[in-house]
Structure 1
């Protein structure tokens, strides 16, 4: 992982922790390569989750490490989720890493699981929000004192101006837990309105990731992410997707792209795909 505050506490004794890959300003390249070599010796393969908000220098460092080591056992998986959603995804992948899945399946499962994480935030302004589509009219409304907006970044972008007769954005159609991180915005709307509307089974609190204010364009926010809490359901979900062999690096994968070398399945027009979330959209997970 690229930031320590994106490593959530384990849910059980079997969930392993995540290794922290530091930014260039915090570690020399030689030391970073040495630590990566130790990880490969200990675990065989390394799956690196790169949030979309990661600094360019940090991302270049990760590619440099893989290039210098000439290793095909390092997967760099770019994830376009808000910080709290990334933290949830990383914990699910940590849980999957001790199951009977190959490294290739774990790496490519990241794209699958993002479809089942509803990540968003309650904001007092969307004037500086550039990661979710916002109309000019909504931008203008954000300058009105007291305005608040519920913004869903994924799996389908939504934006709702909070009001007495306004419904919350549409949420998951299956049982989830809700993780909440409060910034400089004093509001119980997420816990008291959104959580009941989404029929979440439990609400958990977590410190706000340091990268969240930059991602959302304001520090006055309450970030949230709903997710599948039962690892057995997550396991069944991943298991239900057809596995393929990458034609380029030979790694096992699910979906339409290798998690290690990023090569697509070829030729796609001659390949039979399973009817899962990657081909049919975000359907309810098995056992829901």
Structure 2
């Protein structure tokens, strides 16, 4: 039975890319479902699947994160991994779908949970925004903040793997927006591997992701999805088109995860990849610790 993948809201569940991709469980916010009901839901998932990996965005309300930790504590279960991610909503949904794809493979629950950090580096998540005046999750220069108040200003922003921002002018021309330039003034540095692109349209009327971004990044295919409910809050405006480029093929994802050396967590004995256990959060034994601050 594959490891269960869960999310904190239904808008983080994208349609499957193939019939083998299992669904994701949704653990609603504390104000929409009582604690006893959530405990019963999680206990049922553990009985059916053995282990549970919950993808929890860093931007969720503190009460939602507390609920997840309370459930794990009350069930006294070491079979629940709470994986945090700083990706924007659509990028998080892409990551969740990739974990769903990998859950049917021959990976242990520990490797699957730890793979979330690895895969996040291969998701190019961004948006075209009508304003960056209230954008808090991506570094924005003062000039861009000022220009963000101007009528008709459009910005292309990349939140990860590395933050970038460019201003898009009329007719597809642009000028550097402040955080980082990518060579061309109206270009975002894209992946050097084959990707698909998923986009979700908000209240901004622009075809820039399909007419400029996709050809520039040599995207193989473009799909559209519903805009996650949390996207306007994350990006600071409802005038946006969110996008995410990602590795779409399961064999490639499988090879990527398989190529990383596997270790055993010295604390909970779960298998892991990378430098931190996805279940207990313990760092890899022998990993370099930050130097102590004098005084």
TM-score range, shorter chain: over 0.9
2:150 aligned with 1:144, yes or no? yes
Q: Tell me, in whole angstroms, the C-alpha distance in 2 between the residues paired with 1:118 and 1:51.
A: 16
Partner residue, 1:109: 115
| Helix, strand or coil at the partner of 2:156 | strand
Query: How far did 1:269 drift?
Result: 5.0
Partner residue, 1:59: 65
Partner residue, 1:45: 51
Q: Tell me, in whole angstroms, the C-alpha distance in 2 between the residues paired with 1:268 and 1:58.
A: 31
Q: Tell me, in whole angstroms, the C-alpha distance in 1 between the residues paired with 2:37 and 2:144.
A: 47
Q: Tell me, in whole angstroms, the C-alpha distance in 2 between the residues paired with 1:142 and 1:31.
A: 44
For the aligned residue pairs, the C-alpha RMSD in angstroms reads 1.1
Mapping 1:64-143, distance limit 5 Å: 64-143=70-149
Query: How far did 1:53 drift?
Result: 1.6
Q: Tell me, in whole angstroms, the C-alpha distance in 2 between the residues paired with 1:233 and 1:88.
A: 15
| Helix, strand or coil at the partner of 2:120 | helix
**Pick from 183, 187, 197: which aligns with 2:202?**
183
Query: How far did 1:101 drift?
Result: 0.1
Q: Tell me, in whole angstroms, the C-alpha distance in 2 between the residues paired with 1:219 and 1:89.
A: 23
Query: How far did 1:137 drift?
Result: 1.3
Query: How far did 1:21 drift?
Result: 0.4
The answer to whether the 8 A contact 2:167-2:186 is kept is no
| Helix, strand or coil at the partner of 2:26 | coil
2:32 aligned with 1:26, yes or no? yes
Q: Tell me, in whole angstroms, the C-alpha distance in 1 between the residues paired with 2:146 and 2:287.
A: 45
The answer to whether the 8 A contact 2:196-2:220 is kept is yes
Q: Tell me, in whole angstroms, the C-alpha distance in 2 between the residues paired with 1:87 and 1:168.
A: 24
2:281 aligned with 1:262, yes or no? yes
| Helix, strand or coil at the partner of 1:109 | helix
TM-score, L = length of structure 2: 0.90
Partner residue, 1:277: none
Partner residue, 1:13: 19
Q: Tell me, in whole angstroms, the C-alpha distance in 2 between the residues paired with 1:267 and 1:118.
A: 31
| Helix, strand or coil at the partner of 2:114 | helix
| Helix, strand or coil at the partner of 1:225 | strand
Q: Return structure 1 stretches of 4+ with deviation > 2 angstroms.
A: none
Q: Tell me, in whole angstroms, the C-alpha distance in 1 between the residues paired with 2:88 and 2:232.
A: 10
2:244 aligned with 1:225, yes or no? yes
Q: Tell me, in whole angstroms, the C-alpha distance in 2 between the residues paired with 1:184 and 1:200.
A: 24
Query: How far did 1:35 drift?
Result: 0.9
Q: Tell me, in whole angstroms, the C-alpha distance in 1 between the residues paired with 2:205 and 2:287.
A: 50
| Helix, strand or coil at the partner of 1:85 | helix
Query: How far did 1:167 drift?
Result: 2.8
| Helix, strand or coil at the partner of 2:121 | helix
TM-score, L = length of structure 1: 0.92
**Pick from 213, 220, 233: which aligns with 1:201?**
220
More helix by share: 1
Mapping 1:242-253, distance limit 5 Å: 242-253=261-272
**Pick from 180, 185, 189: which aligns with 1:170?**
189
Unmatched 5+ stretches in structure 2: 1-6, 175-184, 290-295
